[in-house]
Structure 1
Amino acid sequence: MTAQDKDFATLVLPLGVTCPLADLEALLQGALARNEADTCHAEPQQAQTVKVHGADVSVTLRLSDGADERHIRLEIAALDLPRETCQARLAGIVHALAAQLPVTHVIWLDTEVRLPADRFIEALSQELGEPAPVVTPIALRRIRPARRADRARPDAASYTAKLNELLPAVDKARAVSTANADARPDSPTKGHERVLRGALVHVADRAELTEMRSEAGIVPVEARLSTWAVSMTVATVSLPVAAPVMIYNLARGEDMRVASLAMGLAGLFLALDSSGAMASVLSSL
């Protein structure tokens, strides 16, 4: 890897976090010394920038503010080191800083993917051999009220005696309540329910059924068959008169009055034809 090649990572912090450059320089020197196992020195601080040099790598830290967050950008440059080794040292430095600062996300290299800081620290802790933070579950303890020392716990015999005293009184109160319920007149709601239930379960006779059907406009089967019989009779006498009646029966339902009127009209025409009056009327026209 040449001196011009650089790898970088970005730490994302909340905007309200204060990060003095002196503290960041101390954290960066400690992280670089831990990863290199060698001494390192820092350059004089510039505006929002800290540079730390080790034996064979140089790390630059730049602090910047975004719209609603703060960024710490780490750039590492090395001379005559493989790129994998340089990235491994950058990962160790990012792990050390993320463990000390309230970092929310880590942007690794140029992926532009925000990794959760806790997941990043946990994964690197396993790789670096450092123990990850373990959350110890809290066992809930059941709290029982303290028993008064002066109150003795009754035994089974005293419980039995107390029940024997209470049961007769309970039975007497229950009997009085039942008697009062039987003597009390029904409320209006109960009376309405009784009338409604009687109307629902009432068995209607034939006359009531016929009346309800006539009110609903339901024609009995016998009446419908009689209407069709009269219509067919009219058709045997005069088909032009019976055709409208049959169409009316199909469209509006069977009506005995219409069929009777059609039969009377057909009989009139038949009587006129048989008496010769129809021929005289037609000849006069």
Structure 2
Amino acid sequence: MEQFTKAAIVYGRRCKKKIPKAIAAKKRLEQINSEITIEGIVEDVHGLNIAELIKGHSVVVDATDNFETSLIVNDAVVKLGIPFIFGACVGSYGLTLPIIPGETPCLHCLLNHLPMDGMTCDTVGVISPIVQVTAAYQITQLLRLLSGELLSPILQSVDIWKSENAEINVTKLKNIHCPTCGEHPSYPFLQFENQMKTDVLCGRDAVQLRPGLSQTYSLVDLLKNVKHQVTNPVLNPYLLSCQFEDYRIVFFKDGRAIIHGTNETKTARAIYSRFIQYY
């Protein structure tokens, strides 16, 4: 519990001083080891800047907090030929997978096979021990890779609450038609038109979000899935309007949404990510 307490103290101070997490983490890690050089970058990762952020590095370790960003990173590392240590956790469940461009399946190959069941940290939370375990697996894979060991594409899953562990060799899931690592890659998550667009609506204290990939969604199904999280829902053939905490959200059939009650795109994205899994 000592490490958890220290982490809470660090981020508690960060919140009080309004210091970005990247800078708070940099300062804390430099206190632990003053002989290392750390660059803290306060920036939103997207398809237009990810290559610049990771180029020239020996390996990329996933510590993102949403799957959309992981897919953007996946496209970039495959395109640049940089090994990628994927990791994700939600609830008491964690996943890790080493991705070696040109050799192993990439994250896009596994999109329909990852057993996360649409859960997110926003909807079910995450307990600290699984974060530590997932990170430990990732760092072990990192050390093995940097020491020259060849890593197999083993998907490691852990449910620390149920004391369950599984290892799956995903070699056969490599897809020659994968748009990221297949024979004719297009790197869809690096394409501007395929990325989430956000617009602050002038004078309305609201943010509009537009998914990059156009689809038609069922608002009836959406309401069934989110009714336990929202209040005052209003559904018609064109939109679903509802209240979530201090925000009013309007969902449209094409995946668009308007988040009323904020002009912060980061806040709007976080709220949208909470509900988009139910679309």
Q: Answer yes or no: same fold by TM over 0.5.
A: no
The answer to which structure has the higher helix fraction is 1
The answer to which structure has the higher strand fraction is 2
Larger radius of gyration: 1
TM range (shorter): under 0.3
Q: TM-score, normalised by structure 2?
A: 0.19
Q: TM-score, normalised by structure 1?
A: 0.19
